[in-house]
A and B are shown apart, each in its own frame.
Chain A
């Protein structure tokens, strides 16, 4: 890839990672004041803040690479569904507490490994963002892992709900490890992560946790993908209408 092509690919890659973080961060933030108890409410919103902060760093970097006057807000607030490139698992509605924790666990295992790999990126800014993210993801994972065990090995009701959540989420996990030409190119250039290389370790860790939590591993006989190409579930549009409400009603509004 030529330098300018590589730069544009890096910009799009930063937007992808920013989209993943923003969309998940928003879903987590929906728990604010709705948590099952105060400590959990605080924990969920703090994790939400970590992801929103992560999104800001990725978007700011994309804006810097674009050098066209855009800012982090341009990416967060002025793009519609088809321009969002997050992996689908992040946009699914928060569901009940078991669903939110199951999703969090599945993506925390993924995120920690992904950010550890991105730490060695040839791109200094991506590596620096990943370096911060790794430290935070360790705490996220510790918590979501605890909840998997507590709910899975808890009451009949909590176990049932968690099993249902894992079943509903499972078909969205293969997309975590897919990649397209853009990501392959960046991986070859030592800038991006080849997510396929993370799959075996992820499956091993998740299987072990499911077993420990007395849950059944789903058969894996269906899968959905399309997020990176802008093909989303019906949920993203509704989410964006809320997330972007102010900028849609008052374009260019500044606080």
Chain B
């Protein structure tokens, strides 16, 4: 499977992101937000997706930094609301969301674990590049056909498997 043949190189910004979490003085808040999933792909959390960038505490206010996936992704508003709600329920009302554009979000930040979750959910995980072969998430076949460059959302393309006929979303590398 492609997941095992990936060269385990982390992009610098993803390395930094993981370090921010590992060295954070607020591990319980990171764990709390692990429960906040992508509203359109509930199989992965915002952390696994790479959207959740940083958590800080200023006075009593929690400040959560996120980075948008696609410029026009309508799910970003829902993600921000879900974060604020999870924090409010945990006793942190009045938290704030900061949107950070740079570094631009990339599917290369997604861990193997997150990719596997996508596959199990029925979505072909993003390849290394535009030219990485796509495999059917259901039967693993590489005999697939691109039906449309855009699937149910901007971040996905629509494919069909030539072996099991499954119509599936492919998370495009970006």
On A, residues with C-beta under 8 Å from B are 25, 39-40, 42-43, 46-54, 56-57, 124-125, 127-129, 131-133, 135-136, 138-139, 142-143, 146
Contact = CB atoms under 8 A, between A and B. Distances in A.
A141 B140 CA distance: 29
Interface stretch (B20-28, B58-66, B86-94, B98-106): B98-106
A55 B154 CA distance: 16
B102 A124 contact: yes
A42 B71 contact: no
Contacts, number: 79
B72 A143 contact: no
B151 A42 contact: yes
Interface of B is mostly: loop
A129 B174 CA distance: 15
A135 B174 contact: yes
A43 B102 contact: no
B101 A57 contact: yes
B158 A136 contact: no
B150 A47 contact: yes
B148 interface: yes
B141 interface: no
The 8 A-B residue pairs with the shortest CB-CB distance, nearest first, are A53-B72, A53-B71, A49-B72, A128-B102, A39-B148, A128-B101, A43-B150, A46-B154
Contacts of B71: 49-51, 53-54, 56-57, 129, 132-133, 136
Contacts of A125: 101
A129 B148 contact: no
Contacts of B73: 49, 53
